[in-house]
Structure 1
Amino acid sequence: MVSIKLYGVNIGGFLSQTEDYSLTSVSKFITVDDFRKIRDWGFNTIRLAVDFSFLFTLSENNADSLSPIPSNFEYLDHIVSWAEELGLYLIIDLHKAPGHSFESSELHKNRIWKQNSPFQDIFLRIWTHIAQRYHTYENALFDILNEPVAPTAEDWNYLAEKTVKKIRLHTKTNWIVIESNLWGKCKTFPQLRKFDDENIIYSFHFYEPMSVTHQKAEWLKFTREYHPDFVSYPGKTDTLSEALEKGHDADAKGLMNMFRDSQGVWDMTRLESRMQPVFEFQQKHNVPILCGEFGCIAYAHPKTRQNWLSDLMTLFHKNDISYTYWNYKNMHFGLCDYTVGFQDNPNYDENRMDQASIKILSRNIY
């Protein structure tokens, strides 16, 4: 197995999931000093979430109309160079792609999965352009799609294989990251194809139990209304049963099923059992594994957040799993947070840093 060890953080809410993609706005949110801070914490990797709409324009879903935005690509050039100069790997994560959404309320818009879909051609052209532009940067990795939500595993395997082949026309050595189907879940790893390419990292995302990691989240209203108390880890989460049975709108039903799956006693043993399909895939194929996203919301009690992270770190180190924490700054999960809503949050010190979590994430680095 060709080996690579990644340990770091995600930067989201910067070139993705933001209301203002103007360079005036994004250049104030993250600077090279943030990259330097991440390096100084002891990490070697940044997973950079990038929405396709920051990099390209597209008219009427016509592949021939796909056009790179020169000024924004030049800005991304600077970001890749920052990472290179600081000795950091940079994972370019295509967080949102045309014809695909991982948002539960937008799954009906997913039109990329039909093999004759114009969105597959658009997707391949996006990655052709990115690979052509960044193949000379040895520190650049390509996470081809964030949290794919395909009707079947084979639909995702098919598109992933086509994408790998397109990228390999331009670079044989840059690492490619491929996530498992259905939001990068552990349980879909047995259906993920082992590709005939030594420079692929297989990736999962981990937010279990949702009742702990997403407690009190504003975008999950039913948890705030029916379960106002803190949920501890380790601990028992059966008290969510009543809230789940009452139900809400259709948008909430899929998320409520995730919460239903969260019930019972949670400790490191149960976390490990949930990751077992990933470990088995790793052992069977002798391939590198990345947990590309994991995090606990800052509404959780500090000890809950710290206990959960500590157990994950133990499991990642035990099983040789690379990792990038979600999220570096703000977005409810930040290791630092400068928003008004979290100004008095007990997870953060007077400098708005979660020093305890940073210490846990950077301990025993390979």
Structure 2
Amino acid sequence: MESIKLYGVNIGGFLSQTEDYSLTSVSKFITVDDFRKIRDWGFNTIRLAVDFPFLFTLSENNADRFSPIHSNFEYLDHIVSWAEELGMYLIIDLHKAPGHSFESSELHKNRIWKQNSPFQDIFLGIWTHIAQRYHPHENVLFDILNEPVAPTAEDWNYLAEKTVEKIRMYTKTNWIVIESNLWGKCKTFPELRKFDDENIIYSFHFYEPISVTHQKAEWLKFTREYHPYFVSYPGKMDTLSEALEKGHDADAKGLMNMFRDSQGMWDITRLESRMQPVFEFQQKHNVPILCGEFGCIAYAHPKTRQNWLSDLITLFHKNSISYTYWNYKNMHFGLCDYTLGFQDNPNYDENRMDQASIQILSRNTHKAP
């Protein structure tokens, strides 16, 4: 197995999770100088979150027809060249796909998993187009779907297998990233299929305990009500009272279950135990592993954020896990943040940088070859 080590950050809120996909808007948010800054911090990888609507349009009259947006692909070409010229890996992460969303409030829209769904053909067509265009760039990796939420493991394994087959028609060497089912959870890792392909990286996401990493998250009503105060790490997480469980709609059920799962003492030992299914998969199959997303919200106290990150980085290096932190800029988890809501946040210095977290994340990293 060829060795690959990825150390880096995600860039989200740029070509994904934005209300304005126009080039006029996105070109002002991230430039080559941001890539250079990330490299100079000691990282060799950027995981670039890209939503389907930035790259393609769907036909209104025929749901199984889609067309590339040529100007936006040309812009993505520039981004690929930025990474290439700086000696960095670029992971193209299909963050949202037609017929699929990882967001709890949109799960009812997930039609990609239905039998004979045209969205599976669209999905395969998307990756055919991307692979055709970017396979000559050896620094480009393909993360085929962000946080899949398939009804069964086999549903996801089947689509992943078909996607790998399509990509391998154009390249045998570009690395492909496959995430575990149900939002990239550790506990679903044993259900991932081990592919007969030496250039696949198996990936998980890690935000545990959610009562720490998502404390005071303003986009989650349930979280705001449960956490009107700082939650420390390491430390003991409060129990979820029955009173707080009442009055929330069905969309909150999954979140409430995660909070229940967060109860009790949390420290590096519990973090390690949570990742055990990943470590066992890695050891059994001798494959590279990537933690594609992990992060602690900037509403957390600086010491909590730093302690949590430090323990994770220790575990990643101990177990030869590659990693990309969520997120580089803004979006509540940023290593730098220029939004008014975080103007006086103690995690950031006068230059709007979280230098302490940057130093932790770049511990023992190496530049890309």
Q: Which TM-score bucket, shorter chain as reference?
A: over 0.9
Displacement of 1:256 in angstroms is 1.1
What is the SS of the residue equivalent to 1:197?
A: coil
CA distance in 2, matches of 1:155, 1:253: 23
- Kept in 1: contact 2:335–2:353 (CA 8 A): yes
CA distance in 1, matches of 2:76, 2:115: 31
TM-score (norm 2): 0.97
CA distance in 1, matches of 2:247, 2:308: 28
CA distance in 2, matches of 1:243, 1:46: 43
* Alignment CA distance shift 1:243-1:338 (3 Å): farther
Displacement of 1:320 in angstroms is 0.2
CA distance in 1, matches of 2:199, 2:280: 19
Displacement of 1:240 in angstroms is 3.6
What is the SS of the residue equivalent to 2:258?
A: helix
Displacement of 1:244 in angstroms is 4.5
What is the SS of the residue equivalent to 1:240?
A: coil
Displacement of 1:220 in angstroms is 1.5
Question: Can you give the 5+ residue segments of structure 1 that lack an aligned partner in the other structure?
Answer: none
- Kept in 1: contact 2:64–2:121 (CA 8 A): no
* Alignment CA distance shift 1:314-1:177 (3 Å): same
TM-score (norm 1): 0.98
- Kept in 1: contact 2:292–2:325 (CA 8 A): yes
Deviation track 1:68-110 (CA, whole Å, cap 9, x = no partner) reads 0000000000000000000010000000000001010111111
Deviation track 1:158-198 (CA, whole Å, cap 9, x = no partner) reads 00000000000001100000000000000000000000100
Identity %: 93
CA distance in 1, matches of 2:225, 2:163: 43
CA distance in 2, matches of 1:206, 1:22: 31
Bigger shift: 218-227 or 315-324? 218-227
Deviation track 1:316-336 (CA, whole Å, cap 9, x = no partner) reads 000000000000000000000
* Alignment CA distance shift 1:345-1:184 (3 Å): same
- Kept in 2: contact 1:62–1:118 (CA 8 A): no
- Kept in 2: contact 1:238–1:264 (CA 8 A): yes
What is the SS of the residue equivalent to 2:142?
A: strand
Deviation track 1:113-159 (CA, whole Å, cap 9, x = no partner) reads 12411000000000000000000000000000000000000000000
What is the SS of the residue equivalent to 2:255?
A: helix
What is the SS of the residue equivalent to 2:108?
A: helix
CA distance in 2, matches of 1:240, 1:347: 28
- Kept in 2: contact 1:227–1:240 (CA 8 A): no
CA distance in 1, matches of 2:68, 2:103: 25
Displacement of 1:225 in angstroms is 2.1
Deviation track 1:236-277 (CA, whole Å, cap 9, x = no partner) reads 112443564335122111111111111110000000000000
CA distance in 1, matches of 2:61, 2:335: 37
Displacement of 1:364 in angstroms is 1.4
- Kept in 1: contact 2:10–2:293 (CA 8 A): yes
**In angstroms, what is the RMSD of aligned CA positions?**
1.1
- Kept in 2: contact 1:306–1:357 (CA 8 A): yes
- Kept in 2: contact 1:145–1:179 (CA 8 A): yes
CA distance in 2, matches of 1:155, 1:135: 27
Deviation track 1:200-239 (CA, whole Å, cap 9, x = no partner) reads 0000000000000000001221222232111000001124
What is the SS of the residue equivalent to 2:231?
A: coil
- Kept in 1: contact 2:239–2:260 (CA 8 A): no
Bigger shift: 79-88 or 108-117? 108-117
Displacement of 1:355 in angstroms is 0.2
* Alignment CA distance shift 1:68-1:243 (3 Å): farther
- Kept in 1: contact 2:127–2:166 (CA 8 A): yes
Alignment of 1:154-303 (within 5 A): 154-242=154-242, 244-303=244-303
* Alignment CA distance shift 1:194-1:339 (3 Å): same
Question: Can you give the 5+ residue segments of structure 2 that lack an aligned partner in the other structure?
Answer: none
CA distance in 1, matches of 2:189, 2:298: 29
What is the SS of the residue equivalent to 2:98?
A: coil
